[in-house]
Chain A
Amino acid sequence: MATESAAEPGFGDRLRGAWRDTWGRLPKRAQGLIPALLLLAGAALYPVYHDSLPTGIPVVQNFPSISTAVIMLVFMMMAVGLNIVVGYCGLLDLGYVAFYAVGAYTAGWLASGHFQQVQIHVGSAGISTELRGIHINVWVVLLLAGSVTAIAGILIGLPTLRLRGDYLAIVTLGFGEIIPQFVRNADNLGGFNLTAGTFGINPIDSPGFGTGLNESLGLPVSFQQSFDKVNLFYWSALALLLITVFCSVRLRDSRLGRAWIAIREDETAAAAMGVPLMRTKTWSYAIGAFFGGVAGAFYASFKSGAFPSEFFFNISVFLLCMVILGGMGSVWGAVVAGAILTWLNQEGLANIGSWLNDDTPLRFDVTEVQFGIYGFIIVVMMLFRPQGLIPESRHKRELEEGGLATDTLYGERHE
């Protein structure tokens, strides 16, 4: 090949030229769509080729396992949901974990044997109808959990959204603390066991398609009883994430989304232009909460339980860190940062820590201080790159036009 290239344009050059011709001729829409589809295919086939991926890679050791990938997808979903509240609407929510908890417990109530007093079955898949408790089809439960959480979001929002800025942050933080404590203590509300206290509600039913669809289409009866259970959860989580991202992107460009961004940029000006502040903010709360609830319910179903020890303030900050790292208002930023941080949380830091201990002279347990690392990321991002790793296109435009992106990140400026 080297001899060829001396005389005439080489094979590589010709290939590149041909590539440029064909690629350049594609419509703009396709240019965006094709990489996205390739990426999606790569993600969708991940369980298939996961086993043949190399292990023992330097520093990070290996690729995330499938079950870690499921958790990553769930957290990405929550990050996208939180991005609606924090990124689009500019409301700093430090209690998002409350929505996650509400979603998980709704799943616990509606799809498990927790309420032994009753025996209700609504389209439950792969569960004996003899079992006591409420067993609603988990797909329906996901929607119900989202709706319940959205209502919870509205209830929390109504009294508090009148507050501005940092007061709102502290109130949401308060709710983020109250709800987990409520869950921990509500095993004896006047003699009624609502949440099973510290034991948590388990087992929770897993999603499935029932015997009818199993016979006609070959879909699994119930994920729990299936051999490739984790893979099924992975694909459903991926589908849920796609729906979330799609809704989030479409919402951003909708009338409501533009109202959110207007409020974020300048609340007073938005109000003057006729944007109803309370209603718009409450919607952002409700919709952000909806996705948090769906993610929480799905996660509870995946873990087959809802446990109060999982809901603490750190999770809220962890999610906030994703939104900030990705870039506030940037959906793709939230997705990417959510994937990276959750992987670090689940596997990455442990792997990096063992690499540090085995192959370098450093002795440092990174997993012990992981939340310190997230805190560090937050501070560094705020100081040096407040627009995030993948800035929202609106911010980027502002940067290119010479305006200071950070100036308008939130409406309020410090006097």
Chain B
Amino acid sequence: MAVEAKPESPAPIGGARRVNRPSVLSIIGLVFAGLFVLVLLRNFISDPQEFINVTLIGFTTGCVFAIVALGYTLVYGILQLINFAHGDVFALSGLFASTIMISVLNLSGDEAVVVVIIGIGATLLITAAFSSSLNASIEFLAYRRLRRQPRLTMLISAVGMSFIVQNISLYFYGVGFYRAPDGLVPTGAAFTIGEVSLGWDKVVVILITVPLLLVLTWLVRSTKQGKGMRAVAQDQDAAAMMGINVNRTISFTFLLAGGLAGFAGVMFLLQFQMRYDTGFELGLIAFTAAVLGGIGNLAGAALGGILIGCIQAWNEGLEHWTLGGDWTRSMVFGILIAILVFRPEGLLGERTPEGA
């Protein structure tokens, strides 16, 4: 969305010095990337089927990351704000979805297929409505007044907001883990090719993700509202002069991002268990994904999310030359730091003043 919507950058400071620096940096970066490919190749050769299975698991987890990352990227594109609270909105809406599924809709494992489909659909809609209104109210309460303030003010406010939302989850849901009703989505294989199989719970996630991405792309690319979003991202004052209601456009962006968080919450709940602080860690992973793909770039966020999901699965599932689950978090943050140091514009992004 905001690929082309970067605010004009002041000439980078010390630009002259930086001319010969990237050469060293990019060599180190390439070495890292080469090692990474080497590890993958080693594993693929020794056990291709296992490798594909692990990759598919990573892909579905990555879909959730991608949806959350899109929320970060949308907000960053329009306000240049890392919305720390986004991950916690995701967690709260996931917990909310578990309430909807279990207590309101009374879904259980032995429903007919039609009921399951309608039930999940209804949960998705109700949760998305909840999370988008939550996200928009966060913007209204904590960010709107700070829009003309120095940027870090809003960032600090977002950190505070993240803690507030997390503790709201804690207050209402306690420290226990929640999950979708057992057997609601069968984990049995939907299809099997050779020894590679994919469970229904994974297929469902992909079935939700793909149309969601298409709708989102259409919304941002082809609608008037989307055009307004891109205009506001580029220059708020100019957009206002062109008759765009800036406040409403930003609220709409937050509604959209919140809705995505709600969808991601349901999708996560269908696969894993979650609790009040799930959102913090997942939010950071998703943010890493957004940065990896190039923050502000919709396609980049999706790509980054899936890549991070795969990297996580590879790290935990493959046998050779990997660090293992204990180190996943360090690895994700290591990637984040490496990306910011070696290629701050991300895989698909363009050079931004921030990252320079």
Residues of A within 8 A of B (CB): 90, 92, 94, 159-160, 162-167, 169-171, 173-175, 177-178, 181-182, 184-185, 267-268, 271, 277, 313, 317, 320-321, 324, 368-369, 371-379, 382-383, 386, 406-407, 409-415
CB pair B163 A414 closer than 8 Å: no
Asked, given contacts A167-B340, A382-B160, A383-B145, whether A369 binds B151 with beta carbons under 8 Å apart, the answer is no
Q: Which of B80, B154, B170, B333 contacts A368 (CB 8 A)?
A: B170
CB pair B147 A414 closer than 8 Å: yes
Docked complex Cα distance between A410 and B146 (Å): 13
Query: For residue A365, which residue of chain B has the nearest CB?
Result: B171
CB pair B354 A369 closer than 8 Å: no
Could you pull out 5 A-B pairs where Cβ atoms are within 8 angstroms? A170-B287, A178-B334, A369-B170, A371-B166, A383-B142
Query: For residue A373, which residue of chain B has the nearest CB?
Result: B167
Q: How far is the CB of A389 from chain B (nearest CB, A)?
A: 15
CB pair A382 B156 closer than 8 Å: yes
CB pair A92 B157 closer than 8 Å: no
List, in ascending order, chain B residues with CB within 8 A of A92's CB.
Answer: 152, 155-156
Report if B39 contacts A (CB, 8 A): no
Q: Which of B151, B166, B327, B355 contacts A414 (CB 8 A)?
A: B151
Asked, given contacts A92-B155, A372-B166, whether A185 binds B160 with beta carbons under 8 Å apart, the answer is no
Q: How far is the CB of A337 from chain B (nearest CB, A)?
A: 14
Q: Which of A165, A171, A369 contacts B171 (CB 8 A)?
A: A369
CB pair A175 B171 closer than 8 Å: no
Q: How far is the CB of B148 from chain A (nearest CB, A)?
A: 7
List, in ascending order, chain A residues with CB within 8 A of B157's CB.
Answer: 378-379, 382-383
Query: For residue B333, which residue of chain A has the nearest CB?
Result: A174
CB pair A371 B14 closer than 8 Å: no
Asked, given contacts A320-B159, A379-B164, whether A178 binds B142 with beta carbons under 8 Å apart, the answer is no
Query: For residue A411, which residue of chain B has the nearest CB?
Result: B150
Asked, given contacts A174-B333, A375-B161, whether A185 binds B167 with beta carbons under 8 Å apart, the answer is no
CB pair B163 A374 closer than 8 Å: yes
Q: How far is the CB of B58 from chain A (nearest CB, A)?
A: 20
Report if B284 contacts A (CB, 8 A): yes
List, in ascending order, chain A residues with CB within 8 A of B142's CB.
Answer: 379, 382-383
- Chain B interface size, as a band, is 35 or more
Docked complex Cα distance between A165 and B153 (Å): 11
Q: How far is the CB of B303 from chain A (nearest CB, A)?
A: 19
Q: Which of A167, A185, A313, A409 contacts B150 (CB 8 A)?
A: A409
Q: Is the interface of A mostly helix, strand, loop or mixed?
A: helix
Q: Which of A178, A267, A406 contacts B330 (CB 8 A)?
A: A178
CB pair A414 B80 closer than 8 Å: yes
Report if B82 contacts A (CB, 8 A): yes
CB pair A320 B354 closer than 8 Å: no
Docked complex Cα distance between A317 and B166 (Å): 13
Report if B280 contacts A (CB, 8 A): yes
List, in ascending order, chain B residues with CB within 8 A of A321's CB.
Answer: 160
Report if B194 contacts A (CB, 8 A): no
List, in ascending order, chain A residues with CB within 8 A of B13's CB.
Answer: 267-268, 271, 277
Sort A-B residue pairs by CB-CB distance and give the 8 closest, nearest first. Answer: A372-B167, A375-B163, A378-B160, A174-B333, A379-B160, A410-B150, A382-B157, A369-B167
Docked complex Cα distance between A163 and B301 (Å): 20
CB pair A159 B337 closer than 8 Å: yes
CB pair B14 A277 closer than 8 Å: yes
CB pair A414 B337 closer than 8 Å: no
CB pair A412 B150 closer than 8 Å: yes
CB pair B329 A178 closer than 8 Å: yes
CB pair B167 A375 closer than 8 Å: yes
Within 8 A of A (CB), among B158-182: 159-164, 166-168, 170-171
List, in ascending order, chain A residues with CB within 8 A of B192's CB.
Answer: none
Docked complex Cα distance between A379 and B10 (Å): 30
CB pair B146 A167 closer than 8 Å: no
List, in ascending order, chain B residues with CB within 8 A of A411's CB.
Answer: 150
CB pair A169 B153 closer than 8 Å: no
Docked complex Cα distance between A271 and B14 (Å): 8
Asked, given contacts A386-B149, A409-B153, whether A94 binds B159 with beta carbons under 8 Å apart, the answer is yes
List, in ascending order, chain A residues with CB within 8 A of B183's CB.
Answer: none
Report if B344 contacts A (CB, 8 A): yes
CB pair B333 A317 closer than 8 Å: no
Docked complex Cα distance between A301 and B334 (Å): 31
CB pair A177 B333 closer than 8 Å: yes
CB pair B327 A185 closer than 8 Å: yes
List, in ascending order, chain A residues with CB within 8 A of B353's CB.
Answer: 164
Asked, given contacts A167-B340, A372-B168, whether A414 binds B330 with beta carbons under 8 Å apart, the answer is no
CB pair A166 B149 closer than 8 Å: no
CB pair A410 B160 closer than 8 Å: no
List, in ascending order, chain B residues with CB within 8 A of A377's CB.
Answer: 160
Docked complex Cα distance between A409 and B284 (Å): 27
Asked, given contacts A368-B170, A412-B151, A414-B151, whether A182 binds B330 with beta carbons under 8 Å apart, the answer is yes
